[in-house]
Structure 1
Amino acid sequence: MKPRGHHVNTKTVAVIGLGYIGLPTAAILASNGVRVIGVDVSDRHVDAVNRGEVPFVEPDLATHVAGGVSQGMLSAQKDTPHANTYIVAVPTPFKDGYAADLSYIDAATDAIIPQLRGGELIILESTSPPGATQHLADRVLAARPDLSLDGSGERPVVHFAHCPERVLPGRVMIELVTNDRIIGGLTVEAAERARDLYEVFCDAELHLTDATTAEMAKLTENSFRDVNIAFANELSVIADKLGIDVFELIELSNKHPRVNILQPGPGVGGHCIAVDPWFIVSAVPDEARLIRTAREVNDHKPEVVLAKVKERADRFKEPVIAALGLAFKPDIDDLRESPALGITKQLAERHPDAHILAVEPNIDELPGVLVGQAHVSLESTEDAIKRADIVVLLVDHREFKHLDRSLLAEKAVIDTRGVWR
């Protein structure tokens, strides 16, 4: 085990953005003796943290948050304070044309700027296109010409680094500790200072590089996965045309010692794989041909599922359709970029005479995009299946895997995950 941040100045760390990455990072730092102030625009998130509670589902996170708050090491507020270190963990969606939207980073940066005195470390954790860390630094230094990157003109230095998160939802608190981290600095000293901070809680290797390489590394990891998922998804479409069970096909193909095909599904979701490859495509559109094609294949897969549902729904005057799963992956409540949620929304819009029974065991109310449609309701698993003419499995939650299969008798079943083969 590494020494725990024995020479790092961690008097106060401000984590900007208390979402799926920011709050776990804040909590793990607080659990390791670092005073952390979390900052978020959401009253709901701020209030939950200050009560020692969590505003979303993530295993083991609640224990860390409750412990950090009770020990006085973790608190939350809406205003950005002065701190020795800032970790920016805000969303980076894409705009029309798939260019990265850096407005959340800019807003977080603008709130940090008045607090700087010199000597602070600003770490960008948000998954970002190449050059985003430099963009952040340029914004700071343009507003604060009294500061510098390198101490030139005897101006106080502010350090800038990029440390992309690389954790799996549902395992975040484990993987924060056990996964290697890539740390890229705009200067060597910035990278070293960021490394010293992450040593406080990370037992894995910390690999230092420059900021642009660190930014590109995260995008590369997720693009690699996206390309491989696209192969499986395209294979599923081909298999359907040929009358082949794609899941059996992949199982048999994977018997080869050097073949490991992933599993197909209804699309690709989440805050990383469904978004990050577009940052590469946007940066070098003429060269990123394979990466672009993979994104297009995966983005089109929901249409394949919708076509299968339509084929069956057309047999009924007022079909009852159970859509099982709204999250982007199993056993969490994260709906970001979820193909399952998108498919359910499209089912409601394209089948106004149908009754859409949405099932998501990890949430208590319909997501906003489904609210207001009288023929859409959130139901329990068994009630939805009993009432349904058509059952569409979109997410392989544990509740669906362990379902009494007799409930599916005489139902039209579309299993996009191969769970009920």
Structure 2
Amino acid sequence: MYNRISKGTHLHYAVPTPYIKDSKKLDPKYVISAVNSVLDVCEKGASLIIESTISPGTIDKYIRPVIEERGFIIGEDVNLLHAPERIIPGNMIYELENNSRTIGADNPEIGEKVKGLYANFCKEEIVVTDIRSAEMSKVVENTFRDINIAFANELTKICRTDNMDVYEIIKIANKHPRVNILQPGPGVGGHCISVDPWFLVGDYPDLTNLILTARKTNDSMPRHVLGRIRDIMRKHGIKDISKVGLYGLTYKENVDDTRESPTLQLLERMDEHLAFGVKVFDPFVNRRIVDHQFMNFEDFLNEIEILVIMVGHDHIKNNMDIIRDKLILDTKNICLFEGSYKL
């Protein structure tokens, strides 16, 4: 997101910051396009604030040259800042008000002025720093979470090989005052945690062994779920994949955002023959985005024998009574029925 501030006027653009699949580096084209659009109407002395999550050094490498090529003098004609956003879908207003913020600025005095602007809606601490530190801090936040999720997911695989209850083990371990293991899941999706660590891998390939391993571990979880589905099918003599239903298309609970969702990753990893016929339902996704997607929950249940809970929407928690007769693979550990299968 980009804000232009000049004489009380604000201009906003929201653009994606994806990574290039082969190199894992940030694809800056959307950022550059938005910056150029702002510069088209930018008045002298305006502050251009980049909020999108970007890899460390992006502003020096891509944005400064664009501004200078347009004939603007940074620090005189345009003040350049980076204030990475910290919000999640489904809870945006609360997090805008209650999450701390970081403002990276070339000029600390300008940084303090922009801090005053953000203080109009942000109730928490606002830190002013340099631009590169602001870029790095946001990427580090999401990478930290990705690594911790990967640890939980790797524990899941270890426990599965030796028939141990990973949820019980995590619960006990977390009683230690300095341990806080996250919950495992079917994969990591969304536009932040599943994307931002790749920026570091792309820019520092020789220094990111742990980060790369975490990314690979989390990306492997949809295939792990697929293996568990096959285990259940074999155990119960089910050979028809069309009897399997995936509940949940979004990347997290109680939102309609499907970007990089574990369910979509799982479907992509299925070979064409295996994927043909598997049923899908999500109460928050009202448009058809995959084959064999149902819009009615009861119709969905009537067509399947194995229910795979991929997302822990409140909807499924409130409908536990009507799924009791299904074979259940619960990847979110929300189903307490005896005999339900876990990761």
Structure 1 residues 381 and 247, CA, compared in 2 at 3 Å: closer, same or farther? farther
1:386 counterpart (288, 302, 305):
302
Residues in 1 aligned to 2:317 and 2:7: alpha-carbon distance in whole angstroms: 45
Please state how far the C-alpha of 1:346 moved relative to its aligned partner: 4.0
Q: For residues 381 and 244 of structure 1, do their structure 2 counterparts lie closer, same or farther at Cα, with a shift above 3 Å needed?
A: farther
1:319-358 aligned at under 5 Å gives the runs 319=241, 320-347=243-270, 349-352=272-275, 355-358=277-280
Distance 2:75 2:320 in 1: 64
Instruction: Render the CA deviation track for 1:286-306: whole Å, top value 9, x for unaligned.
Output: 112211111111111111011
Candidates 17, 34, 43, aligned match of 1:92: 17
What residue ranges of structure 1 are gaps of 5+ in the alignment? 1-7, 18-89, 152-156
Equivalents in 2 of 1:352, 1:213: separation in Å? Answer: 44
**C-alpha distance after superposition, 1:62-113 (max 9, x if no partner):** xxxxxxxxxxxxxxxxxxxxxxxxxxxx110000221111110011122222
- Answer whether contact 1:324 1:381 (CA < 8 A) is retained: no
Q: TM-score, normalised by structure 1?
A: 0.74
Instruction: Assess if the C-alpha contact under 8 Å between 1:121 and 1:193 holds in 2.
Output: no
Is 1:377 the equivalent of 2:293?
yes
1:268-287 deviations in whole A, cap 9, x for unaligned?
Answer: 11111101111112222211
CA deviation map 1:13-58 (0-9, x unaligned): 01112xxxxxxxxxxxxxxxxxxxxxxxxxxxxxxxxxxxxxxxxx
Q: Give matches, 1:193-212, under 5 Å.
A: 193-212=113-132
Is 2:177 the counterpart of 1:257? yes
Cα distance between partner residues in 1 of 2:66 and 2:329? 50
Q: 1:298 to 1:215 in 2, by over 3 A?
A: same
**Aligned 8 A contact 1:344 1:358 in 2:** no
**Alignment TM-score, normalising by the size of structure 2:** 0.89
CA, structure 1 residues 332+406, in 2 after alignment: closer, same or farther (shift >3 Å)?
closer
Of 118, 131, 134, the residue aligned with 2:44 is 118
Residue 143, structure 1, aligned to residue 58, structure 2: no
1:186 touches 1:211 (CA, 8 Å); kept in 2?
A: yes
Superposed, 1:58-69 pairs within 5 Å as none
Instruction: Give the counterpart of 1:244 among 150, 154, 164.
Output: 164
- The amino acid across from 1:361 in the alignment is P
Other structure's SS at 2:44 match: coil
Superposed displacement of residue 190, structure 1: 3.5
**CA RMSD, aligned part only?**
1.9
Q: Does 1:310 pair with 2:225?
A: no
1:101 to 13, 22, 27: 27
Counterpart secondary structure, 1:296: helix
In structure 2, distance between residues paired with 1:199 and 1:238: 47
- 2:323 alignment partner, one of 391, 404, 407: 407
Query: 1-side partners of 2:34 and 2:308: how far apart?
Result: 41
- Aligned partner (choices 76, 97, 109) of residue 177 of structure 1: 97
Q: Distance in 1 between matches of 2:68 and 2:112?
A: 21
CA contact (8 A) 2:6 2:43 kept: no
Deviation track 1:165-213 (CA, whole Å, cap 9, x = no partner) reads: 1122221100101111000012224422321321221121110000100
Amino acid at match of 1:394: M
2:287 to 365, 390, 396: 365
1:16 to 13, 16, 23: 13
- Partners of 1:413 and 1:246 in 2: CA distance: 18
Q: Secondary structure, in 3 states, of the residue corresponding to 1:408?
A: coil
- The amino acid of 2:8's aligned partner reads K
CA distance in 1, matches of 2:273, 2:121: 49
**What letter corresponds to residue 351 of structure 1 in structure 2?**
L
For 1:334 and 1:348, how far apart are their aligned partners in 2? 25
Q: Distance in 1 between matches of 2:114 and 2:247?
A: 42
Aligned length, in residue pairs: 327
Q: What's 2:210 paired with? A: 290
**1:257 Cα offset (Å):** 2.4
**In structure 2, how many angstroms separate the alpha carbons of the residues matched to 1:228 and 1:263?**
9
**Residue 186 in structure 1 maps to residue 183 in structure 2:** no
Aligned pairs for 1:268-283 within 5 A:
268-283=188-203
> SS of the counterpart of 1:165?
coil
Shift of 1:383: 2.8
Does the aligned pair in 2 maintain the 1:10–1:197 contact within 8 Å? no
**Structure 1 letter corresponding to 2:194:** A
| Corresponding position of 2:339 | none
* Letter matched to residue 18 of structure 2: P
Residue 91 of structure 1 aligns with an amino acid whose one-letter code is P
The residue type equivalent to 1:339 in the other structure is P
CA distance in 2, matches of 1:107, 1:283: 22
Retained in 1: the 8 A contact 2:6–2:46?
no
